[in-house]
């Protein structure tokens, strides 16, 4: 039965599309930033799910499935590189900056920015090829400054 459910969800090896991989990599990075302070708050989770639905044009159920897979992949990952490599390879600079915008939205969702979250976000932005100046500009835009 699990095989049929997995097949339906497109989880079998070789069944994922490039868009699935982009969504999964994005979600894993969002999870990484959310959990960097040791607290994946309800506000961060809700913002993360909304970011996935808006960015990838998927429904809430699909976003939840991607989040579940991303949490598992993020927990098993030995580095951020496997996720950032996918995004850096497939996205142009504007799209990578949009990922950084999503990261800021999630990090700031609980009205608290922990140093661990800020450092994780800075590292991810650097691996995506987003300059420190652009990262800070995007932060201020998200904060409404």
Per-residue pLDDT tens over the stretch 49-63: 999 999 999 999 999
pLDDT at 13 over 70: no
This prediction's pTM: 0.85
**pLDDT tens-digit profile of 90-143?**
999 999 999 999 999 999 999 889 999 999 999 999 999 999 999 999 999 999
Look up residue 143 and give its DSSP letter: H
Which structure tokens are listed for 99? 């990922």
Residues 6+ apart with CB under 8 A from 66: 23, 24, 27, 52, 56, 58
**For the chain, which domains are there?**
18-143 (1.10.3680.10)
Name the residue among 96, 98, 110, 123 with its Cα closest to residue 32. Answer: 123
């Amino acid at each position: 039965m699990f095989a049929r459910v997995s097949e339906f969800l497109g989880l079998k090896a070789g069944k994922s599309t490039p868009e699935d991989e982009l969504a999964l990599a994005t979600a894993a990075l969002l999870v990484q930033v959310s959990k960097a302070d040791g607290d994946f708050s309800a506000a961060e989770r809700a913002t993360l799910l909304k970011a996935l639905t808006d960015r990838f044009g998927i429904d809430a159920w699909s976003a939840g499935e991607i989040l579940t897979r991303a949490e598992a992949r993020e927990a098993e990952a030995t580095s951020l590189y496997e996720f950032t490599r996918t995004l850096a390879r497939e996205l142009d600079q504007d799209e990578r900056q949009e990922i950084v915008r999503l990261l800021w939205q999630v990090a700031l969702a609980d009205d608290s920015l922990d140093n661990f979250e800020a450092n994780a976000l800075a590292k991810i932005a650097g691996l995506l090829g987003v300059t420190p100046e652009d990262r800070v500009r995007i932060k201020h835009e998200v904060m409404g400054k």
